[in-house]
Structure 1
Amino acid sequence: MRTTGWKITAVAALLAAAIGLNMKSDLFSVFASASSGGSTVDQLEEELASQFQNRSEHFTLQYKGDKHKLTDGLQNTINLALAQDDYTAYILDSYLYTIRSWGNLSTIKLEARYRETTEQTAAVDATVNKAVKQIITPRMNDHEKVKAIHDWIVGKLQYDQTLKHYTAYDALTTGTAVCQGYSLLAYKMLKAVGIPVLIAEGTVKTGDHAWNMVQLDGNWYHLDMTWDDPVVKTAGSKQTESRLSYNYYLKTDAEMRADHQWVKTYPVANHSYSAELSKLESKDSGNTAEYETLKNELGLQWAEPEHTVSSLVELEQDIREAVMNQQTSMHFRYLNGSTLAADLQKAFKVAHVSIRYSARYEPYGNDGSMLVQVQLDYQ
């Protein structure tokens, strides 16, 4: 498993309460008027959000009100300001702030560093708009749009083994990025087509990690494009690449927690995407073919009972039936993936069929099951 190479946004917060004001003319200044209704904090949050989103590196804000309330709550206000736009929050590299108070008047000075400049973000926007026009058609529904964007990003990028490329700009200009770059680019592209999207952060076995959450038809899902990206392995002078994966495509909280952990609060994701597509397929008769195609392209049909083998006894019965019908191949999902190889041998032996076979299999999702293809040789 690859290392994540993700860096959580570094926050350096220096808090200083001192007598007197020391304004600099080259710094932006805004006066937030006090109000018993609490609008001071709200206005401060909006000004902070505006400055961060404009990539301001040095700015000053003035606050009129209880300085203790300010010092106790400023970090939370900054967090709320950053939460207004995940893209800004995850390209912010670090920030430093000081507070100086005189009576009920306080001056807040901030210095911020960003991983991406306004010019670079503009270049990202231009590339995203061009790509969206190429891969999104007017007839696509939101489900098809998410898949098209997923496939474009996964097909275009490679994981940055040097762990140096963290932004969407890096991803588009170098073709490589760590998980944060994948998530930022996905955020931009999904936003561009009107899909509600978030960036989620947590941990995996190899360390810190970032991915996306997407809302479709009112339901939230996890979407990890980094872990869906084929991993290129070099053996001598040869390179092998696995095919496009959907193992981390629109997953529930329970499915994702198999190997992803998080402590921040995110929208609840408790709807099976496969089940939701099946509902749409039966409910939206005018688009049945589109949903069925989407389900097959994502490999979700293998999660259905008719394509699933759940035990050794069932495997033996299916093998006997396939041989009786002179089938040349079998394709199914086997729930007990860890015992598949041994169970295949046992099943062919118990089925009392004199036939040679070869099997190919790979993990299906992250539930321990295997997607199996068996070739039957009657010679």
Structure 2
Amino acid sequence: MRNVTSRLLVLAIIILAAYSLELKLDLFPSISDPDEPVAAVSKQQVKLNTLDGTVTESSVAGEGPYDKLELELAAGFQARSGQFSVTYTGNRKQLSDNMTDIIRSALMHDDYSAYILESYLYTIRSWGNKSTIAIEAKFRETKEQSAEVDAHVEATLAKLITPGMNDHEKVKVIHDWIVTHVEYDQSLSYYTAYEAITLGTAVCQGYSLLGYRMLEKAGLEVRIAEGTVNTGEHAWNMVKLDGIWYHLDLTWDDPVGAEPGSPIRYSYYLKTDEELRLDHGWTREYPAAENAYADALQAMENGGNGEQARLAAKLKLAIGLHWLEEKNTVRGKDALKTTIAGAIHDGAGGLQFRYTDADGFPEALKEAFEDAPVAVGYRASYEPYAGDDSLIVNIQLEYP
């Protein structure tokens, strides 16, 4: 009897050694931590059996170690499955060590799914070298709500986008629609595109999700980027135009407290990395945004056909990039004196220009009118120009 008991005990130990259960919980904040380290991934090759959803080891050259497993997991998240599982055959310890990073890589296949995911729980059950990965996911937006977002987006785009409209025009009308139909949620309670369209309010995550879906449905390549600003964590979009990536921060182009009907802002419209880093920071890797949008429009205006040139000029005027042209720029107080004297000589009722020395402008303006050939009254207003230290100046002249 003692021998039988000993054998049963040994058998139980063997079974426990062969069978393992691993349970992990990953709670995403509204925006993931940009400083989170990424672990190394095993070089082991994998292959997907599409018949039963099983992932097995393979020696197929040129495939990433967990690419097919990522695709299976990505499909589950994108299907908005609250619970789903995938079976993997291979080294259990390597799978366990890399599982969190495999899931995060899977989420990178679709930014929309990643940024409506509130939390997930994964369980790995292993028998020998065969493991079953079970996922329980909690989303901020249900599958039905996402379908409503898609329907609303498609209906809106049908009204906004006209035949013959190019990608540059599409980005602008989508930008303008979002910043005029969504307000920033100061209660910090609403995070989704669904809440943005049904309640008309959301935090930056909701703006970015709605921007992502509208730009994607319009046929543009788009990303959601995340990082930090002076108020904390933040999200915005990146969009690809004519093969060039740009940053697009819809939230910051819709400032809190803006009066209804006030002019649309383009301060964070299609910016380069250098321009956006003035007040945004990020550590995750995103496509490089190195080319100024003003240069792209100038090239279109100079090298395109007549219709393209007219479109480029129209866009430059609409989003304020025409101020960068030399004919609209006044550099320094001597040039300011000359410009004002010329306007008075011509009897102009007013003038507008970009002034490059913001710090010294009030004194330079006063001095310019004191030195003017004819004494005139004036009213001046000015505001910072996005992207540099210059001002957009508007002066109304009042003659005796």
Q: 2:333 aligns with which of 309, 312, 326?
A: 312
Contact 1:9 1:91 (C-alpha < 8 Å) held by counterparts: no
SS of 2:207's equivalent in the other structure is: helix
Contact 1:183 1:199 (C-alpha < 8 Å) held by counterparts: yes
1:317-351: per-residue Cα shift (whole Å, max 9, x none)?
21122222222211001122233222211222244
**1:255-270 residue pairs with structure 2 within 5 A?**
255-270=275-290
Percentage of matched positions with identical amino acids: 50
Do structure 1's residue 279 and structure 2's residue 302 form an aligned pair? no
Contact 2:215 2:221 (C-alpha < 8 Å) held by counterparts: yes
TM-score of the superposed pair, with normalisation by structure 1: 0.88
Q: Which residue of structure 2 lines up, in the alignment, with residue 133 of structure 1?
A: 158
1:176, CA displacement in angstroms?
0.6
Larger mean CA deviation between 245-254 and 92-101 belongs to 92-101
Change (3 A) 1:290 1:39: closer
Do structure 1's residue 33 and structure 2's residue 53 form an aligned pair? no
Q: 1:156 aligns with which of 163, 178, 181?
A: 181
**1:141-290 residue pairs with structure 2 within 5 A?**
141-232=166-257, 242-287=262-307, 288-290=309-311
Contact 2:340 2:372 (C-alpha < 8 Å) held by counterparts: yes
Counterparts of 2:336 and 2:149, CA distance in 1: 51
SS of 1:93's equivalent in the other structure is: strand
1:366, CA displacement in angstroms?
3.4
TM-score of the superposed pair, with normalisation by structure 2: 0.84
Counterparts of 1:111 and 1:224, CA distance in 2: 32
Contact 1:9 1:92 (C-alpha < 8 Å) held by counterparts: no
Q: Choose 1 or 2 for highest CA Rg.
A: 2
1:352, CA displacement in angstroms?
5.2
SS of 2:57's equivalent in the other structure is: coil
| Alignment: residue pair count | 352
1:89-126: per-residue Cα shift (whole Å, max 9, x none)?
10000112222333211222221110001100000000
Q: Which residue of structure 2 lines up, in the alignment, with residue 377 of structure 1?
A: 398
1:158-213: per-residue Cα shift (whole Å, max 9, x none)?
11111111100000000111111111011111111111110010111011111100
SS of 2:74's equivalent in the other structure is: helix
Q: Which residue of structure 1 lines up, in the alignment, with residue 38 of structure 2?
A: none
Change (3 A) 1:378 1:39: closer
1:10, CA displacement in angstroms?
8.4
Over the aligned positions, Cα root-mean-square deviation in angstroms equals: 1.9
Moved over 6 A (4+): none
Q: Which residue of structure 1 lines up, in the alignment, with residue 352 of structure 2?
A: 331
Larger mean CA deviation between 364-373 and 260-269 belongs to 364-373
1:68, CA displacement in angstroms?
2.3
**1:84-95 residue pairs with structure 2 within 5 A?**
84-95=109-120
Q: 1:346 aligns with which of 351, 362, 367?
A: 367
Contact 1:232 1:241 (C-alpha < 8 Å) held by counterparts: no
Contact 1:10 1:94 (C-alpha < 8 Å) held by counterparts: no
1:258, CA displacement in angstroms?
0.8
1:269-304: per-residue Cα shift (whole Å, max 9, x none)?
111111110110121123222221111111110011
1:230, CA displacement in angstroms?
4.5
1:76-98: per-residue Cα shift (whole Å, max 9, x none)?
21122111111001000011222
Change (3 A) 1:92 1:352: same
1:308, CA displacement in angstroms?
1.1
Q: Which runs of 5+ in 1 are unaligned?
A: 1-5, 12-28, 234-238
Aligned partner letter, 1:67 = R
Q: Which runs of 5+ in 2 are unaligned?
A: 1-28, 35-51
Q: 2:147 aligns with which of 122, 131, 153?
A: 122
Counterparts of 1:126 and 1:197, CA distance in 2: 19
1:232, CA displacement in angstroms?
2.5
1:241, CA displacement in angstroms?
6.3
Q: 2:128 aligns with which of 66, 83, 103?
A: 103
Change (3 A) 1:338 1:39: closer
Counterparts of 1:326 and 1:39, CA distance in 2: 71
Contact 2:193 2:209 (C-alpha < 8 Å) held by counterparts: yes
1:7, CA displacement in angstroms?
2.4
Q: 2:312 aligns with which of 272, 291, 294?
A: 291
Contact 1:231 1:241 (C-alpha < 8 Å) held by counterparts: no
Q: Which residue of structure 2 lines up, in the alignment, with residue 14 of structure 1?
A: none
Contact 2:253 2:267 (C-alpha < 8 Å) held by counterparts: yes
